[in-house]
């Protein structure tokens, strides 16, 4: 397996002390590869793991005795500035920047500081972080008013409706979760989430999205194509009556209960809405696999340190709390991987 150049997230104490990268590196003396990885957020894939020159983005304080301590928030802030091209831009590959940002952002969130967004993330979507949810709705139907084009109308999501169990937790969508994204994003309506079959688009006004008291209402004006007409015939017959939506989580909230946890989606980045033949139920193997991979993107593989020592601790049996990229709160994992 190819080694990731971005070093995995770990959690330590944080500090806002003055930062001097040169002095901290000098204090390390002749560090081991493990110490260098703990100190930095990126290492050259083909570099010497025991050479300081193979690493970038130092951000931890180092004591006089060489022990590595708290993450320095000022260093973290400067690192994100470099990732975004401020002052001296970084020269690391663009593909490594999201991972470095996730590492640095986790320390800032541990200090209750919201990290700046990675600018490059606005231009690309990490496929591992895309989730899909489906609803079976009687309201999904064909509408044709006199003098108006044929439309597909219904709901892509319902607020405050608990999902079926999903690997130890259930999920609901809070009112307002789509408010920002439907006002800012250029969203598509697809058939079966297939980008080759575009039913509508907000930019071209062939897709309208709006939140009401029930959920996310949709109105699609499909194209005058054979496949779209075939879809509408299937919908009129009742063969297709379910909607799904693809999204990335921006902000969520977790509540731990005796019989599991409840995840509430507070804000999402909506990617598409889609009539579907087979909804992506949470119990399906494909969705479970993609969800685990999305979570693994943020799980630390490095030793997790306490606030007073640079010695690693053993992994506990209970799930830990880990920070997800750009979220204000730590995500309490309800599953073991």
Question: Coil, strand, or helix at residue 39?
Answer: helix
* Model pLDDT, residue 126: 56
Instruction: Report the pLDDT averaged over residues 88-107.
Output: 84
Of 337 and 21, which is predicted with more confidence? 21
CA distance 279 to 133: 8
For residue 73, pLDDT beyond 90: yes
pTM (2 d.p.):
0.50
**207-237 confidence digits (pLDDT tens):** 999 999 999 999 999 999 999 999 989 888 8
Q: What percent of the chain is predicted at pLDDT more than 90?
A: 39
* Model pLDDT, residue 140: 58
Of 102 and 311, which is predicted with more confidence? 102
CA distance 326 to 306: 23
Alpha helices by DSSP H, the chain: 21-27, 33-39, 73-83, 97-110, 179-184, 226-237, 285-296
pLDDT band at 240, cuts 50/70/90? confident
How far is CA 138 from each of CA 171, 232, 320, rounded to the nearest angstrom?
21, 15, 40
Of 39 and 149, which is predicted with more confidence? 39
Question: Coil, strand, or helix at residue 152?
Answer: strand
**275-285 confidence digits (pLDDT tens):** 888 875 444 44
CA distance 36 to 18: 21
* CA angle 93–35–19, rounded 5-degree value: 75
Instruction: Kindly report the average pLDDT of the chain as a whole number.
Output: 78
Token pair listed for 213: 């008291």
User: Which range is most confident: 62-71, 83-92, 300-309?
Assistant: 62-71
* Model pLDDT, residue 25: 92
For residue 301, pLDDT beyond 80: no
For residue 75, pLDDT beyond 90: yes
* Model pLDDT, residue 297: 46
Tell me if 313 sits within 8 A of 305, measured CB to CB: yes
Lowest-confidence pick of 68-82, 151-165, 176-190: 151-165
Token pair listed for 108: 């800032």
Lowest-confidence pick of 140-149, 212-221, 235-244, 327-336: 327-336
CA distance 200 to 207: 5
For residue 23, pLDDT beyond 90: yes
Of 205 and 325, which is predicted with more confidence? 205
CA distance 228 to 185: 24
CA distance 310 to 319: 22
Among candidate residues 303, 308, 257, the one with its CA nearest the CA of residue 320: 303
Among candidate residues 305, 295, 278, 251, the one with its CA nearest the CA of residue 10: 305
Lowest-confidence pick of 103-112, 137-146, 219-228: 137-146
For residue 326, pLDDT beyond 50: no
Cβ contacts of 258 within 8 Å, gap of 6 or more? none
Q: What percent of the chain is predicted at pLDDT more than 70?
A: 73
For residue 182, pLDDT beyond 70: yes
Q: Phi first, then psi: give them for residue 286, nearest 5 degrees.
A: -60, -45
CA distance 324 to 56: 22
């Amino acid at each position: 397996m190819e080694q990731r150049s971005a070093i995995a997230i770990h959690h330590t104490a944080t500090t806002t002390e003055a930062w001097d990268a040169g002095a901290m590196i000098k204090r390390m003396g002749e560090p081991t590869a493990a110490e260098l990885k703990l100190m930095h957020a990126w290492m050259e894939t083909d570099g010497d793991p025991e050479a300081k020159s193979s690493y970038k983005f130092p951000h931890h304080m180092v004591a006089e005795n060489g022990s590595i301590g708290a993450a320095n928030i000022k260093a973290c802030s400067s690192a994100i500035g470099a990732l975004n091209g401020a002052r001296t831009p970084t020269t690391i590959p663009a593909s490594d920047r999201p991972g470095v940002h996730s590492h640095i952002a986790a320390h800032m969130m541990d200090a209750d500081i919201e990290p700046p967004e990675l600018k490059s993330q606005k231009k690309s979507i990490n496929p591992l972080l895309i989730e899909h949810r489906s609803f079976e709705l009687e309201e999904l139907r064909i509408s044709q008013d006199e003098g108006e084009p044929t439309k597909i109308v219904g709901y892509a999501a319902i607020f405050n409706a608990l999902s079926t169990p999903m690997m130890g937790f259930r999920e609901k969508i809070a009112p307002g979760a789509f408010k920002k994204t439907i006002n800012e994003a250029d969203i598509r309506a697809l058939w079966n989430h297939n980008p080759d079959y575009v039913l509508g688009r907000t930019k071209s006004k062939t897709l309208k999205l709006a939140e009401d008291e029930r959920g996310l209402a949709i109105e699609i004006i499909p194209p005058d194509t054979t496949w779209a007409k075939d879809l509408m015939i299937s919908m009129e017959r009742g063969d297709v009556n379910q909607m799904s939506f693809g999204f990335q989580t921006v902000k969520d909230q977790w509540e731990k209960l005796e019989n599991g946890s409840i995840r509430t989606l507070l804000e999402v980045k909506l990617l598409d809405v889609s009539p579907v033949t087979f909804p992506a139920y949470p119990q399906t193997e494909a969705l479970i696999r993609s969800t685990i991979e999305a979570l693994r993107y943020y799980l630390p593989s490095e030793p997790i340190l306490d606030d007073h020592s640079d010695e690693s601790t053993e992994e506990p049996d209970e799930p830990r709390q880990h920070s997800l990229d750009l979220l204000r709160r730590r995500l309490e994992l309800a599953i073991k991987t």
